[in-house]
Amino acid sequence: MTVTLTAKPRRQDLPKDANLCSYCTAKCCRYFALPIDTPETFTEFEFVRWFLLHDRATVFVEDDIWYLLVHTTCKHLREDHMCGIYETRPQICAEYSTDNCEYEDHFTYEQYFETAEQVHEYALAKFSDPNDDNFRSRRPNPLPIAY
């Protein structure tokens, strides 16, 4: 069996009145993100670390706002990537616009944490004294210059 993969058309290559959802795999229906308090103490970073000890949770920062992102698919997303309750969908879905959606799949976050260890290391660096000998590993010796 041969599977042929076709590239998703670029937004700018589609007609202006095209429904982007017809070309997408419903990325917006496969997660939700909630703003969380910006951690300001080591203890608050421990709470963020706790979030990441749970399956399918990540944390990101965008425009200096921290978010808990939960990777989970809407119960009503059909196999064709369309909404199974479109006429009675929640208001947040009805108000969602594809004008600024993640259709292109190349969005990056200011900060993105996938593991509890990443948050722990970040907090240690943030709250450590940079003059402390243990703050960072020693600077490596420079490589020799080749002529």
pLDDT 10s digits, 35-49: 999 999 999 999 999
Q: Give the pLDDT confidence score for residue 131 in this predicted structure.
A: 66
Confidence bin at 147 (pLDDT 50/70/90): confident
Please tell me the distance from the alpha carbon of residue 26 to that of residue 117, in angstroms, as a whole number. Answer: 30
Tell me if the pTM is above 0.85: no
Closest among 25, 4, 9, 28 to 99, alpha carbons compared? 28
pLDDT 10s digits, 49-103: 999 999 999 999 999 999 999 999 999 999 999 999 999 999 999 999 988 888 8
